[in-house]
């Protein structure tokens, strides 16, 4: 009962925060905006398994809407606040269905006048994800700094540093003595760089590399060798249709290489395709797991 | 009454006389594939005669839905250009072009201070808030000019007889004005058509449509 009350209240608190932040701004006639998007992602290792035989693939579709306002605070500094709403559908795992609702705030500063000037932005985001598999539900927090340096009207170089954290709403009683069960409570620091290039006036490609150092969750069949490097262990019903899978939380350094192509169909509509390759190196040379993600996205500015 | 009538008759005769001795020049601009090029500026500069003085015209470049309207604005040297902001938000218009450097810091509404364009040349406009906003003011010291419409054509009317140096300009044209310049002789009543086939380079500016992870603003 308390659990449901907490879930009910937590999503209402987010809604209240969004409304109380956004509504006063309408008085000063800030620039409102809304973006809608549909994204489909194929992930060939959605459970982060080390062994190829344990990998599970999935196709997820996300319908997203963000609504918010933008305000130019000074000549070169702007702020934006957006409410975020997402619905995620999984093709193979109903437990991964989730609804996300949250808030994102960003402050951006240009160091000089004009489109060619470098800029620095800082952002904070909190989003609550409510999964069908309730043990996965929780808050995802992101804080980041991004730096952009246009080299020409076609080339932009960027760098970013980010901290992410996921805090699950609930924990289960211990299943393995001596091990915590908050397997989905993960966090990490990321450092990245990227280059963006306009190949035509309507087509942009970007290539990026990110190194993330933090905790990860891998769901695999039970394996005692994981005990030595796991911080938390929890049975994972989502992938346990044929045999038991267990979610292990451990430390890893993850290399992410991504390549994206955006095509602007008109000034409000874009098609986007992406590929990301993940290599996570688990601590103590325990092993690596790999994932490839292919994505397609349609974004529309309302 | 008699005086008024004589004045009207005299004015009518003058108008009729001038149109009889004036010519018209039609310019057609196409790209290398034969596709019409709108927003190309056609300039006709008379040669060997004194150029009529410029009127202190006030021109307008609007800002509507976070875009400059029009994309290309030809004006005569000395013209004042107003930049009314018809959006319900702030814009920050600027130019770094050598023909006119200026800045209109954050403002709203239609009552912006006009900017005088006192040197011939190309002035590229931008908005410091919305990086995708780009437009051009083409400042010419020629008395006769205009820009092509959607079908790539422009008609300059009421050109006095004489020899003209005519050329076209467009933000994406690769060739220089010198390379595109032609000389034409116009006699009274003439209607001359001049064609240009130009090679266009791509026009790059930041994408406006939403893209994943841009966290951006449009």
Tokens of B115: 């900017």
CB contact under 8 A, B88 and A106: no
Sheet with B22-31, edge to edge strand ranges? B153-160, B22-31, B191-198
Residue reference for tokens 């290309």: B72
A258 at B interface, C-beta within 8 A: no
b/e for A199-229, b at 16 or more Cβ within 10 A? eeebebebebebebebbbbbbbeeeeebeeb
Angle ∠(A78,A80,A83) on CA atoms, nearest 5? 180
**Spatial separation of the C-alpha atoms in residues A260 and A196, rounded to whole Å:** 9
Residue reference for tokens 């989502």: A238
Distance from the Cα of B64 to chain A's closest Cα (Å) equals 13
CB contact under 8 A, B210 and A154: no
ipTM above 0.90, yes or no: no
Sheet with B144-147, edge to edge strand ranges? B144-147, B41-46, B162-169, B182-186
Which is higher by pLDDT, A64 or B15?
Answer: A64
Distance from the Cα of B94 to chain A's closest Cα (Å) equals 8
Question: CA-CA distances (angstroms) from residue B152 to A44, A243, A256, B44, B215?
Answer: 52, 69, 49, 17, 38
Q: A34 burial class (0-12, 13-18, 19+ CB within 10 angstroms)?
A: middle
Give the A:B interface size as CB pairs under 8 Å.
Answer: 98
CB contact under 8 A, B207 and A300: no
Q: How confident is the model at residue A242 (pLDDT cuts 50, 70, 90)?
A: confident
Q: A154 burial class (0-12, 13-18, 19+ CB within 10 angstroms)?
A: middle
Nearest one of B137, B40, B147 to B94, comparing CA atoms = B137
A112 at B interface, C-beta within 8 A: no
H helix and E strand count, chain B: 2, 17
Query: Is the model's pLDDT at A8 over the cut of 60?
Result: no
Q: What is the pLDDT of residue A98?
A: 97
**Spatial separation of the C-alpha atoms in residues B146 and B71, rounded to whole Å:** 13
SS3 B194: strand
CB contact under 8 A, B207 and A204: yes
With contact defined as beta carbons under 8 Å apart, do A226 and A237 qualify?
no
> Out of A66-75, A273-282, B92-101, which region has the weakest mean confidence (pLDDT)?
A66-75
Q: What is the dihedral of CA B77, A113, B83, B203, to 10 degrees?
A: 70
Q: Which of A72, A105, A269, A294 to mutate to test the interface with B (most CBs of B within 10 A)?
A: A72
Distance from the Cα of A56 to chain B's closest Cα (Å) equals 25
CB contact under 8 A, A76 and B207: no
With contact defined as beta carbons under 8 Å apart, do B91 and B132 qualify?
no
CB contact under 8 A, B209 and A267: yes
A19 at B interface, C-beta within 8 A: no
Q: How confident is the model at residue A16 (pLDDT cuts 50, 70, 90)?
A: low
Distance from the Cα of B159 to chain A's closest Cα (Å) equals 38
From the list A76, A110, A201, the residue facing B204 with the nearest CB is: A201
- Mean per-residue pLDDT, A237-262: 94
Query: Is the model's pLDDT at A11 over the cut of 70?
Result: no
Give A171-200 pLDDT, tens digit per residue: 888 888 888 999 999 999 999 999 999 999
Closest chain B residue to the Cα of A203, Cα to Cα? B207
Low-confidence ranges of chain B (pLDDT < 50): 1-20
CB contact under 8 A, B126 and A114: yes
Q: B188 — phi, psi (to 5°)?
A: -55, 135
For residue B209, the chain A residues in CB contact (below 8 A) are 262, 264-270, 299-301
- Mean per-residue pLDDT, A43-48: 97
CB contact under 8 A, B209 and A297: no
From the list B106, B126, B202, the residue facing A75 with the nearest CB is: B106
Residues facing residue A123 across a β-bridge: A106, A144
Give the mean pLDDT of chain A: 91
Q: What are B's interface residues with A at a Cβ cutoff of 8 A?
A: 67, 88-90, 92, 94, 96, 103, 105-106, 126, 128-129, 131-132, 202-212, 215, 217-218
**Spatial separation of the C-alpha atoms in residues A168 and A98, rounded to whole Å:** 13
Q: Which of B108, B131, B212, B216 to mutate to test the interface with A (most CBs of A within 10 A)?
A: B212
CB contact under 8 A, B215 and A121: yes
SS3 A301: strand
Please tell me the pTM assigned to this model: 0.85
Q: What is the pLDDT of residue B212?
A: 86
Tokens of A67: 């609504």
Closest chain A residue to the Cα of B104, Cα to Cα? A75
Q: What is the pLDDT of residue A12?
A: 53
């Amino acid at each position: 009962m308390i659990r449901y009350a907490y879930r009910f209240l937590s999503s209402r608190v987010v809604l209240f925060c969004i409304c109380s932040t956004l509504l006063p701004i309408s008085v000063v006639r800030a620039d409102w905006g809304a973006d809608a998007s549909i994204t489909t992602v194929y992930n060939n290792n959605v459970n982060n398994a080390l062994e190829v035989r344990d990998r599970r693939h999935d196709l997820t579709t996300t319908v997203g809407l963000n609504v918010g306002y933008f305000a130019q605070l000074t000549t070169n500094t702007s702020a934006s606040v957006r409410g975020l709403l997402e619905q995620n559908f999984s093709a193979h795992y109903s437990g991964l269905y989730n609804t996300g609702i949250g808030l994102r705030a960003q402050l951006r500063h240009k160091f000089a006048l004009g489109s060619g000037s470098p800029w620095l932005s800082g952002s904070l985001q909190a989003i609550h994800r409510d999964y069908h598999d309730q043990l996965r539900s929780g808050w995802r927090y992101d804080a980041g700094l991004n730096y952009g340096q246009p080299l020409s009207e076609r080339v932009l170089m960027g760098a970013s540093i980010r901290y992410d954290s996921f805090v699950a709403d609930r924990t289960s009683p211990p299943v393995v003595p001596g091990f915590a069960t908050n397997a989905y409570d993960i966090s990490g620091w990321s450092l990245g760089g990227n280059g963006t290039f306009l190949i035509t006036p309507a087509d942009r490609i970007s290539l990026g590399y990110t190194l993330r150092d933090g905790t990860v969750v891998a769901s695999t069949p039970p394996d005692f060798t994981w005990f030595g490097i796991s911080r938390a262990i929890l049975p994972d019903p989502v992938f346990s249709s044929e045999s038991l899978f267990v979610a292990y939380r451990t430390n890893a350094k993850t290399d992410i290489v991504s390549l994206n192509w955006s095509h602007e169909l008109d000034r409000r509509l874009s098609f986007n395709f992406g590929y990301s390759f993940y290599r996570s190196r688990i601590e103590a040379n325990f092993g690596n797991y790999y994932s490839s993600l292919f994505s397609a996205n349609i974004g529309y500015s309302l | 009454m008699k005086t008024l009538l004589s004045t009207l008759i005299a004015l009518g005769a003058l108008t009729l006389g001038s149109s009889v001795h004036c010519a018209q020049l039609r310019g057609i601009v196409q790209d290398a594939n034969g596709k019409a090029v709108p927003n190309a500026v056609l300039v006709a500069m008379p040669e060997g005669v004194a150029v009529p003085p410029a009127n202190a015209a006030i021109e307008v470049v609007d800002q509507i839905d976070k875009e400059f309207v029009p994309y290309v604005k030809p004006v005569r040297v000395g013209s004042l250009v107003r930049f009314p902001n018809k959006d319900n938000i702030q814009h920050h218009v600027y130019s770094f072009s050598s023909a006119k450097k200026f800045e209109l810091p954050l403002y709203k509404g239609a009552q912006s201070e006009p900017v005088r364009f006192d040197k011939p040349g190309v002035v590229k406009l931008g908005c410091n808030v919305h990086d995708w906003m780009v437009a051009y003011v083409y400042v010419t010291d020629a008395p006769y000019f205009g820009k092509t419409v959607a079908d790539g054509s422009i008609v300059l009317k009421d050109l006095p007889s004489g020899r003209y140096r005519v050329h076209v300009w467009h933000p994406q044209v690769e060739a220089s004005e010198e390379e595109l310049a032609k000389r034409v002789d116009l006699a009274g009543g003439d209607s001359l058509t001049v064609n240009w086939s130009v090679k266009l380079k791509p026009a790059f500016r930041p994408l406006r449509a939403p893209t994943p992870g841009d966290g951006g603003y449009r």
